[in-house]
């Protein structure tokens, strides 16, 4: 089977924001996620949703996902495909090529992207807790080291709050402001149309 070359990638802006927020949620470790996409007849990939995956191994230069998480991610992708009406596609043949990527403006935040953005702080917090528990359970550590590790854990959680939840809240506040402005515009248009309608009678 011949692999067809992709011509371009169109990444919806809400999916891009989830990816960007995920990438900026850590300074030193790799992150991983699953892009939900479809390929049109012109071989353009349209990425409309993102699922954030939890890493089983936290390293600076490597991302590992536990084997039991992969089927769960695939099942979630299929569920989201049904929810969004975009068919799930599976492919195992990859070839590295350079293609243009376009960020496509999106008027609303998709349900899947919103869920992923909301899950990101929980996932990052759980990863930090797992790392802390792994170190804290070591019996040979002295009290000063344990206190230091607790301080590092607290600092990391605060960094997560700043890096992830701050932009998420700002994003939601901006969206609320846009929605309120759009609602005002629609109400104004409604009043103008009602006045125009009444003048016709």
Q: Give the three-state DSSP class for 11.
A: strand
- Residue 80: count other Cβ atoms within 10 Å of its Cβ: 22
| pLDDT values of the chain reduced to their tens digit, one per residue, 201 residues | 445 677 888 888 888 888 888 777 777 777 777 777 777 888 888 888 887 777 666 666 666 777 777 777 777 777 777 776 766 555 544 455 666 777 877 777 777 777 887 788 888 888 888 888 887 778 888 888 888 888 888 887 887 777 777 777 887 888 889 889 999 999 999 999 999 989 887
Q: How far apart are CA 33 and CA 65, in angstroms?
A: 10
The Cα–Cα gap between 39 and 45 comes to: 4
Q: For residue 195, give both structure tokens.
A: 């006045």
3 found inside a domain:
no
Torsion of CA 107, 112, 117, 123, to 10 degrees: -170
Residue 192 domain flag? yes
Query: What's the token pair of residue 188?
Result: 């104004």
Residue 141 Cα to chain centre, angstroms:
37
pLDDT of res. 97: 60
Distance of alpha carbon 120 from alpha carbon 54, whole angstroms: 9
**Which pLDDT value is given to residue 62?**
67
Whether 1 is covered by a domain: the verdict is no
Answer yes or no: is 105 within a domain.
Answer: yes
Q: What is the pLDDT of residue 95?
A: 55
Does any domain span residue 96? yes
pLDDT computed for residue 187 by the predictor = 96
Give the number of domains in the chain.
Answer: 1
Containing domain of residue 154, as a range? 8-200
Residue at 2 is within a domain: no
Residue 132's pLDDT is what?
A: 81
């Amino acid at each position: 089977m011949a692999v067809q070359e992709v011509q371009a990638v169109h990444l919806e802006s809400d999916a891009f924001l989830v990816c960007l927020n995920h990438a900026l949620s850590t300074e030193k470790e790799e992150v991983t996620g699953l892009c939900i996409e479809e390929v049109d007849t012109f071989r353009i990939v349209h990425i409309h949703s993102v699922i954030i995956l939890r890493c089983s191994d936290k390293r600076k230069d490597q991302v590992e996902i536990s084997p039991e998480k992969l089927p769960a991610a695939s099942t979630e992708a299929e569920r989201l495909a049904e929810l969004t009406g975009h068919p799930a596609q599976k492919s195992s043949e990859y070839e590295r090529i350079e293609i243009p990527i376009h960020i496509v403006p999106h008027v609303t935040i998709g349900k899947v992207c919103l869920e992923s953005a909301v899950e990101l702080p929980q996932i990052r917090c759980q990863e930090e807790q797992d790392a802390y528990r792994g170190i804290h359970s070591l019996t040979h550590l002295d009290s000063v080291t344990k206190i230091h590790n607790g301080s590092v854990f607290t600092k990391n959680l605060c960094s997560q709050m700043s890096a992830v939840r701050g932009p998420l809240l700002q994003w939601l506040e901006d969206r609320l402001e846009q929605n309120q402005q759009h609602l005002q515009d629609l109400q104004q248009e409604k009043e103008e149309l009602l006045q125009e309608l009444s003048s016709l009678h």
